[in-house]
Structure 1
Amino acid sequence: MRICQSVGVALILFCAIGTAQANLITNADFSAGNTGFTSDYTFVTSNIAITEYGVVTDPQTWNTNLFSFGDHTPGPGGLMLVANGSSTAGLSVWRQTIATVTPNTTYLFSGFVASAFNQTAPVMEFLAGTTSLGTITPSIATPGTYAFFSGAWNSGSNTSVVLRIVDNNLEPQGNDVVIDDLSFVAVPEASTVSLIGLSGFVGMVMLRRRSRSTN
């Protein structure tokens, strides 16, 4: 009976965490190529101008002036989004509508960005609807070094949201960025945290009982 109770708690915990951590972004690692999202930039397979983007395995294959490095996702040959910044304010490098938002829930919008050139760093802003979640400026001293951004957003009464990533640097020289491994997940509620605590407590009790039974 005690074992069944422990298994039951573990199953509830697993379901709660699994639901809370589901990534709602489609093609979050760009492994499916140029699908599942939109952009105000122009998609090209070879870059020669600003306000263009591509989905590639190496930025240098898209523009020979850029640095050569791989995507952030573990494993060889993965894809990433690379963009040559714009001189027009407010354009979305990446945009996706999430149609399955739960009201009154806090979500984390996160992702990895890197500079692809060593001149003029991009200033990447993450937005949920009209709410700015903050900005991140990847280093131009070490192009190809990924920086992590994460910002919280509460859905309120919303049942959907448009997520956007905007480059606020309007300098046309340099300002080349890579984006990869995006995520939009619900933050576990207090009940889930309580379950985590309960699971730990049950595990501790079971361990103590087993220890006593072997003495």
Structure 2
Amino acid sequence: MQHFFTRFSSECIQKIVLLLLCILVGVKSQAQNLIVNGNFSNGNANFTSEYTYTTQATNGTNYSQGLGPEGRYTVGTNPKYYHQDFCALTTEGVRSPISGGNMLIGNGYNGSSKKLWTQTVALQANTNYKLTFYAMSLAGANTLLFGLYGNCTRLGQDIDVGNTCTWTLYTMTFNSGVLTSLELSLRNISVNASGNDIAVDDIILVKDNPATNYATISDDFIWQGYTTDWTNADNWGSCTVPTCSDDVVIPAGLTNYPILASNATGAVKSITIQSGAKVTLNSGSELQVCGDLLNSGTLTTNSTATITMMGTT
């Protein structure tokens, strides 16, 4: 009998220890998320937005035009409460696959690229990170087109959900490099007034340990090609137009390449034009280069356009 109870106690202890380990691992896993209120359970808190906030509706109340006109957002459980053309997510089963409940709901701005959601997170230098979130297109007139940015750099694939009222999981990875702080922002790329409306939920940022390091986030000004206008800040990541203090990269593989308009002035510290990329300077324009000019692509200077090497490195 004593042997039985000794054996029974030992087995119970093993199971209890295993259960505690599982609980601890689960708690540790949850604690690793560096995004605060990424599931929006705390409502409109812990993030900023360049969109205009609409007060959260009481469940069952129909505010059919609560997010009109474009450029407004809210945090709520059912997009249909805020716009008559948005998806009706009336039950937990059709809300986010992870948390359900609240989500970020935005009516895409139709004037320029604006930040729908922004949060600054502390990082460890030279560390790999993985960012995941769910997104949904809320109206089908046009394909949803948003981008996720780290500082001024667009991360991973664009958020271009084609199917309306269906959640899509997005995963983006990066290495922090020298950065110890990073502004993450979700911005509209398209400026279509119809469609381009979004729901977002369960934003999670964790350290990762891949077999090889992820690509490092750069603070260089990397041309995005939203339009061809050099002086449009959206083309540089919605931060600002480069100056004599900023290194610039013009990458290959884009549709729109920078054109410096007639009689306009642009400035860079250094500029790298990759093979297959191009830059055009229209008549009377001036590009001031305060560092190096590295051209492996095409640099076109029309009549009376000038490139001034400023002699500053």
TM-score in same-fold range (> 0.5)? yes
Counterparts in 2 of 1:27 and 1:20: CA distance versus 1, 3 Å: closer
Residue 20 and residue 187 in structure 1: after superposition, are their counterparts in 2 closer, same or farther (change >3 A)? farther
Does 1:117 pair with 2:135? no
TM-score by length of 1: 0.74
Deviations 1:104-142 (A, max 9, x none): 001112211001112112212111122211312112xx4
Indicate conservation of the 8 Å contact 1:40/1:92, yes or no. yes
1:37 aligns with 47
Structure 1 gaps, min length 5: 1-6, 191-215
Which of the two has higher C-alpha Rg? 2
Distance (whole Å) between structure 2 residues aligned to residue 153 and residue 113 of structure 1: 20
In the alignment, is residue 144 of structure 1 matched against residue 154 of structure 2?
A: no
Distance 1:68 1:26, change over 3 A: same
- Point out which structure has higher relative CO (alpha carbons under 8 A, 6+ apart): 1
In the TM superposition, residue 19 of structure 1 has moved relative to its aligned partner by: 6.9
d(CA) in 1 for partners of 2:161, 2:82: 20
Kept after mapping to 2: 8 A contact 1:21/1:186 = no
Contact in 2 for aligned 1:124/1:136 (Cα 8 Å): yes
For structure 1, which segment, 66-75 or 80-89, has the greater mean C-alpha deviation from structure 2 after superposition?
66-75
Residue number in structure 1 paired with 2:113: 90
The answer to whether the 8 Å contact 2:113/2:191 transfers is no
Is residue 71 of structure 1 aligned with residue 95 of structure 2?
yes
Gaps of 5+ in 2: 1-16, 56-65, 212-313
- Correspondent of 1:187 among 184, 188, 208: 208
C-alpha RMSD over aligned residues: 2.6
Which of 59, 77, 91 in structure 2 is aligned with 1:57?
77
Corresponding residue of 1:25: 35
Aligned length: 176
Q: Contact 2:98 / 2:202 at 8 angstroms: preserved in 1?
A: no
Measure, in 2, the Cα distance between the counterparts of 1:82 and 1:59.
7
Q: TM-score, normalised by structure 2?
A: 0.52
Structure 1 ranges of 4+ moved more than 3 A: 17-21, 73-76
The SS at the match of 1:60 is helix
Q: What is the identity, as a one-letter code, of the residue corresponding to 1:83?
A: G
Question: CA 1:75/1:184 → structure 2, altered by over 3 Å: closer, same or farther?
Answer: closer
- The percentage of aligned residue pairs carrying the same residue is 29
Shift of 1:20: 10
Structure 2 Cα separation of the partners of residues 109 and 75 of structure 1: 16
> Once the two structures are superposed, what CA deviation does each residue of 1:67-109 show, in whole Å capped at 9, x if it has no partner?
2014305466x0001100012333111100103x111001112
